[in-house]
Structure 1
Amino acid sequence: MKLKPWVQSPAAFWLFAAAVLLCGLNYWGHVAPGEVHPTRGWRLAYGFAATALMLASAVLSLRRQIMKHPLGRAHAWTQLHVYGGSLFLLLVLMHAGFRWPLGSLTRWLLLLSGWVTGSGLCGVLLQKWIPRYLTSGLENEILYERIPELISEIQARTANLLQAAGEPLRSFYDTYLAASLRQPQPRLIYFLDIHGGIHSQLKKFEYLRGLISETDREKLAELQALYRFKLEIDAHYTLQGALRWWVYLHVPPSLALVLLVAVHGFTIIYY
């Protein structure tokens, strides 16, 4: 099976698959035959293993933010974060005996574990898909931080272009384009079809072409090129913005999960 297009490290993937298999065999060999309380035996060991993997996965963020001289390669830590986080959820389910917990704290732990792992995997997919999608569907590569600057440049060039334009072209701009050129506009269509989303917005130029002078047709062509560039900026703003907002869906719940695991561990040890 060729995994290279889908995973960065086939070796890490197969190691993860082997760990999942070993966890399954261990669970069905030691826990499934009879009831075992979560605070005893193998189910307690699964809980400790899940905690260790959670902390190891969290080290990736600490490695980026705190360590001046990080240990190991970033690629290896990323693989640990992805596969360790996925294995963490499996161990949490094994610790819970694949049952819905009875207590409020343990229910929140299970829900947060699922959310953090699921949002993490969604983030991996977004980071793999969005850059390829943007480069294959658009003509221009745009840095997210430069978007305000680029929009200001488009506005300035458009103002110069329309100074000597006829009334039909200026009226067309005021009616159909002015509001769109003021600021970036996210559009959900860009997640599904970048080309279609852009071309549907450019159709409005066609009906005006036969109603204006030859000089204004040249200006209309320049205006259309500027508007197309603005639409590409909107596509980058929409899709790159999704990557940035994803962080807020993943990191705060992850911190809450670490806190709840600490409280859960404290209650097991002292009560």
Structure 2
Amino acid sequence: MANEFYAHARAYDIAFSDRDFKRECDFLEWCLTKHGNINNADKSFIELAAGPGKHAREFASRGWYSAALDLSPEMVAYAAIEARKENLNIKTINEDMSKFVSRKKYALAGTLMESISHLTTNEQMISHFKSISKSLMPGGIYVIEATHPRYYFPDDEPNQWTSKEGNNKVEITFGTPSDSYDSITQTWDITTRMKMWENDSLILNTEEISRVRWYLFQEMQMLIELSGVFDKYWVYGSMFFLPPKEFDNTEDSDAMVLVMRTKQ
């Protein structure tokens, strides 16, 4: 889903600047080493729903062939500009991840930061699994960082935070207690707000509704198996620990991280 919220790439980048992208890429690389079954030493990575392409840029800095795909043309353009500033070479792709198939075959792919929630139907998800499998080498690894099921229903407070970078401050709201849930389609209409200040002057103020779907574990198991394109999968509870945390109901298990291996 490309909308105004994702058109403001610079503000979005600042909003998520507190993520430890190096550690997350360490985890992704570990997944390929541990669970991949590739016959050569190929180092290639594609980040789907990449936004500013922070993971793609980190892998490029490690000498990998790296690509960033996003539905938002503004995000793709921003990722390319930031990569050039960092003297990095990444391939940028403005496409729909639910049906994109790459001519190049990658060793490793990732859809991170809960971005998989923008695929809101079973048909979209299965189409996505089939298309990404065609973009990976046999024995390649696909990692999804999805919302932990414990967060399926929001609490009584808005999901809101503030981030700063230099003279810029960004305030993000991604979900409020009054957001509506459709029990038939299992989708949420999420309130998304973005404000940005520069030198204490408000320069951006947007609000809109984004439709998302947070998947439960057994749903994802079923969809992975129905797609028929992976020979094995693993589930972890976080991307911030090596060795990884188990996927369970403890506090350290803060995400549902699915690691899938394409068939040989």
Query: TM-score per shorter chain, which class?
Result: under 0.3
Bigger Cα Rg: 1
TM-score by length of 2: 0.22
TM-score by length of 1: 0.22
**1 or 2, which has the higher strand percentage?**
2
